Amino acid sequence: MNKTVDILRKHTMKIILVLIVIFFSVTTKGQMFAPSSFQALIAQNAYVFVLATGMLMCMLTGGNIDLSVGSFVCFVGAIGGMLMVKAQMSVPAAMLLMIGAGVIYGIVEGFLIAYLNIPPWIATLAGYLAFRGWGTALIGGSSIAPMPESFTKMFNGSVPDFFGGSSMNITCLVVGVIVCVVFVLLQIKGRNDKVKKGYETESMTGVIVRCVLVCAVILLFAYKLAQANGIPNNLIWVAVIVMIYSFITEKTTVGRYFYTIGGNVEATRLSGIDTKKIFFLAYLNMAVLTVISAWMTMARLSAATATAGNNYEMDAISACVVGGVSAYGGSGTVFGMVIGAALIGVINLGMSLMGIDANWQMVVKGMVLLAAVVFEILNNKDKTKE
Amino acid sequence: MAKILLEMKNITKTFPGVKALDNVNLKVEEGEIHALVGENGAGKSTLMNVLSGIYPYGTYEGDIVYNGEVCQFNKIKDSEEKGIVIIHQELALVPYMSIGENMFLGNERGKSAAIDWNETYGEADKYLKMVGLSESSKVLVKDIGTGKQQLVEIAKALAKHAKLLILDEPTSSLNEKDSQALLDLMLKFKKEGMTSIIISHKLNEVAYVADKITVIRDGSTIETMDKHTTEISEDRIIKGMVGREITDRFPKRHDVKIGDVNMEVKNWTVHHPLYPERKVCDNVSIKVRKGEVIGVSGLMGAGRTELAMSIFGQSYGTNISGQLFLDGKEVQLKNVKQAIKNKLAYVTEDRKGNGLVLTNPIKINTTLANLDSISPHKIIDKDKEYQVAEEYRKKLKTKCSTVEQNVGNLSGGNQQKVLLAKWMFADPDVLILDEPTRGIDVGAKYEIYCIINDLVAAGKSVVMISSELPEVLGMSDRIYVMNEGRIAGELSAEEASQEKIMSIIVNSGKGA
């Protein structure tokens, strides 16, 4: 009995995600499972995953957020549009300059927050206002378009099918199977290592259940995407970024310091760690990831627009909070954030498919966010009582 | 026999999986000072939380009989209305409010819509006088010292018309002088008919002030001793608390060879970070040899912690001047990282505030100060981390279910062990321990002393800052006495005594 409760508690968000998917597949009469829905889910939400990864790193350091990311998406987009469309600059050079702009902004922002001790929400509020205005001014009218095709394809395109399947993209299926095999092998290896060293291990059933479920999800995606256009390039960008940051947060010393600073800054500082540098890195990193998500946004619209990036900061923060990242810092994982972002993405998509008015969609999203925080706090309260 | 004011009968309180209190009985007579002693986690605070209604009626078994009637408190306000007021160990004052505002917080004077400030401050001054404070009640709480803050807490309790005053570790953050004043105040109140319960780890204080002493161990009452009918000695109380006789509270060091000077500080002067004209440490020179424990004694605010932290990579203070020699070579330590690299460690007095990451597991805390050593190419070797944490858990006998357990869930003594483990793993030659046994129970203290002995036996040097004189006397090879930022005297272990240390402090104060 207790064990069931434990498992439920640990996987609540995943279970809710499944329930919501089922709910929408019923209300949309199966449209939710159409191949185009899978594609849309990735295309429309890729930017959230990237931004939320950066936001996660900021939030870990003590619930610090960056309000300026949405406006910066607009600003960097404006620069990119001017370089690529108006100045006809080569795409790689323009992208490099955009990254450069991100690095410069990240350094300034990081310096203000880490070394001048300006509260993050104030420092980034300034960026929120300034970059929206600046970006809009640079764009001049409503948008700069169209973007060069070589640029948009990097994100909107898909991996070509090397096997030349006619109705199905066979590459996509093969990659799906390979990912499953690698996942299962890693799980088994991890468990064997633990057994060998005599550490506490989870039951074999647990491992099998996890493998079956994860593989089912991966294969479902592979199958559905194969019926559409194959593996979207956006998915590859997101997967690579998520994997890099999972590694950083779980395995590296720098990643560890993000957590300990969130838990206790003074203790971390007195352990010989340069805490200011970590704060600095959090915001520098955020700005660079913001540029990547700006690319995604521009590519999707094939334009730099004045409204690009509207409310993106809120999407990123919501994804983190729904994904169990503590609003006070010190806890949260990349994987949790991914679940949170997916949950919001599914709700968005489902409601759009149902034809719900955009205003009501926002009401629902607000409720979901609040519910997630309340749930998190009640859950933690129970834990401390024990 | 005087009237029984409070009787707690067969109190049993269970938390999921743990019986925190098991059939506890406590009788408190009107007009007496009753002490509750016991190791950390014995159940003293739980018992007081039951009494004050923090754990409401119905969540425990047994009866509380107060003033002849059975009470059913649902919240703190209920017990306060009856005159039962608790003063908690961690002071609950708002620093940026005045003494008067704090005193009537939640109990405001005047009408419900408008506070009557004249009445507030007038009444506040009256109660301040009763506890012997001359400050105006308009002074902000942050501007008075901890000793005075404790008195404000007591005045606040009086303002609630307390008939039964409960003090939880009232002197844990006070120096000897302020502690003495507080205890005398308790005795004065007793003469005026007040009944008090005091929870304390400091047995000499308990023996001084209490009429009766109840010992709690593992959630049960062991015995109640009456000072007027039986002879009460500290050893007797300790025996009751730990269930065994500790023949020696300080373990002996055998044949530890004292070697060359390991760390020397010369003419060290530190200025206050916010008021740079103020000298916090003034021309301090100390040295410690290999295999030696030196004690640094002094009153609160003498500049001991500031000295230690300024030596430790300038983590405190500005305009630091003076020379620091480690192992014979002069070094300049600009930050904590350099200090650790030069084999210096500072174990803070504030383990929760700036020592440990309470929300993280033991293993993460253990390796934090030396994470690079188990992280080839900056990638953490988690197996090694686990092994290191296990090794120190065994070595220091830390009580926990696994090293994956969060430090916040450990008792004070075990937290202190994790903190020590963290700094031992940083492999220092000189350890500065700031109040290493503050707020931990007698059994754990003994174990910490043993760890200190092991450290010096291995050729390390230990600088122990402590406000507890018996500890300084019992553990040190040499003692520095600090007062007002200066070294006021130096004593060898043979010549030192509590009286000598206090007289050095008092005399240096007069000279200034």
Nearest to B368 among A197, A260, A266 (CB): A260
Domain edge (last residue) among B191, B226, B242: B242
Per the prediction, chain B carries an average pLDDT of 88
Nearest to A270 among B336, B364, B386 (CB): B336
pLDDT tens for each residue of B477-503: 999 999 889 999 999 999 988 878 878
Those residues of chain A whose CB sits closer than 8 Å to some CB in chain B are 197, 199-200, 251-254, 256, 259-260, 263-264, 266-274, 330-331, 385-386
Mean pLDDT confidence for B234-248: 69
Q: Among A167-171, B6-10, B388-392, where is mean pLDDT lowest?
A: A167-171
Q: Which residue has the higher pLDDT, A382 or B312?
A: B312
Q: Which of B54, B334, B336 to mutate to test binding with chain A, by most A CBs within 10 Å of its CB?
A: B336
Please report the pLDDT score of residue A258 as a whole number.
Answer: 96
Tell me: do B335 and B255 sit in the same domain. Answer: yes
φ and ψ at B411, to 5 degrees?
-75, 165
Tell me: do B336 and B438 sit in the same domain. Answer: yes
Please report the pLDDT score of residue B512 as a whole number.
Answer: 41
User: Cβ contact (<8 Å) for A267 and B371?
Assistant: no
Question: Could you give the dihedral angle defined by the CA atoms of residues A202, A205, A211 and A212, in that order, rounded to the nearest 10 degrees?
Answer: -160
Tell me: do B128 and B226 sit in the same domain. Answer: yes
Banded model confidence at residue B38, pLDDT cuts 50, 70, 90: confident
Domain edge (last residue) among B397, B427, B457: B427
Please report the pLDDT score of residue B244 as a whole number.
Answer: 57
Tell me: do B16 and B149 sit in the same domain. Answer: yes
Tell me: do B433 and B382 sit in the same domain. Answer: no
Please report the pLDDT score of residue B378 as a whole number.
Answer: 93
Please report the pLDDT score of residue A385 as a whole number.
Answer: 41
ipTM: 0.86
B378 contacts in chain A (CB < 8 Å): 252-254
What does the DSSP assignment read for B402-428? -TTSBGGGS-HHHHHHHHHHHHHHT--
**Residue B359 above 80 pLDDT?**
yes
Q: Which of B59, B309, B360 to mutate to test binding with chain A, by most A CBs within 10 Å of its CB?
A: B360
User: What domains can you pick out in chain A, each with its CATH number?
Assistant: 26-157+243-378 (1.10.3470), 159-231 (no CATH)
- Which residues, at least 6 apart from B330, have a Cβ–Cβ distance to it below 8 Å? B323, B324
B422 contacts in chain A (CB < 8 Å): 271
Tell me: do B377 and B270 sit in the same domain. Answer: no
Banded model confidence at residue B148, pLDDT cuts 50, 70, 90: confident
How far apart (Å, rounded) are the C-alpha atoms in residues A17 and A213? 14
Closest chain B residue by Cα to residue A254: B378
b (16+ CB within 10 A) / e for A262-271: bbbbbbbbbb
Tell me: do B118 and B198 sit in the same domain. Answer: yes
Q: Which residue has the higher pLDDT, B44 or A198?
A: B44
Tell me: do B422 and B432 sit in the same domain. Answer: no
**Residue B246 above 70 pLDDT?**
no
Those residues of chain B whose CB sits closer than 8 Å to some CB in chain A are 15-17, 312-313, 315, 335-337, 339-341, 346, 348, 353-360, 364, 368-369, 371-372, 375, 378-380, 382-383, 386, 402, 422, 426
The alpha-carbon gap from A45 to the nearest alpha carbon of chain B, in Å, equals 31
Mean pLDDT confidence for B49-62: 89
Residue span of the structural domain in which B212 resides: 4-242
Q: Domain of B259: which CATH number?
A: 3.40.50.300
Q: With left for phi above 0 and alpha for psi between -120 and 50, is residue B40 left, alpha or beta?
A: beta
Q: Supply angle C-alpha B378, B379, B381, rounded to 5.
A: 125
Mean pLDDT confidence for B179-202: 89
How far apart (Å, rounded) are the C-alpha atoms in residues A293 and A286? 11
Please report the pLDDT score of residue A384 as a whole number.
Answer: 47
Element (H, E) at A279: helix A275-301
What does the DSSP assignment read for A32-65? GGSHHHHHHHHHHHHHHHHHHHHHHHHHHTTS--
Domain total of chain B: 3
pLDDT tens for each residue of B329-340: 999 999 999 999
Tell me: do B139 and B16 sit in the same domain. Answer: yes
pLDDT tens for each residue of B422-439: 999 999 999 999 999 887
Tell me if B259 sits within 8 A of B443, measured CB to CB.
Answer: no
Domain edge (last residue) among B427, B459, B483: B427
- Which residues, at least 6 apart from B235, have a Cβ–Cβ distance to it below 8 Å? B245, B246
Tell me: do B207 and B103 sit in the same domain. Answer: yes
How far apart (Å, rounded) are the C-alpha atoms in residues A290 and A53? 10
Nearest to B368 among A251, A271, A330 (CB): A271
User: Cβ contact (<8 Å) for A266 and B353?
Assistant: yes
Tell me: do B185 and B74 sit in the same domain. Answer: yes
- Which residues, at least 6 apart from B345, have a Cβ–Cβ distance to it below 8 Å? B312, B369, B423, B426, B428, B430, B431, B432
Three-state SS string over B277-314 comes to CCEEEEEEEEEEECCCEEEEEECCCCCHHHHHHHHCCC
pTM: 0.81
Tell me: do B254 and B169 sit in the same domain. Answer: no
How far apart (Å, rounded) are the C-alpha atoms in residues B162 and B160? 6
φ and ψ at B64, to 5 degrees?
-110, 120
Banded model confidence at residue B45, pLDDT cuts 50, 70, 90: confident
Please report the pLDDT score of residue B41 as a whole number.
Answer: 64
Rounded mean pLDDT for each run of 10 residues along chain A, 386 residues in total: 73 87 91 90 94 97 94 96 94 96 97 96 95 94 90 92 82 93 92 81 85 93 90 95 96 95 94 95 97 96 93 93 89 94 91 90 89 79 50
Q: Among A14-18, A58-62, B376-380, B408-412, where is mean pLDDT lowest?
A: B408-412
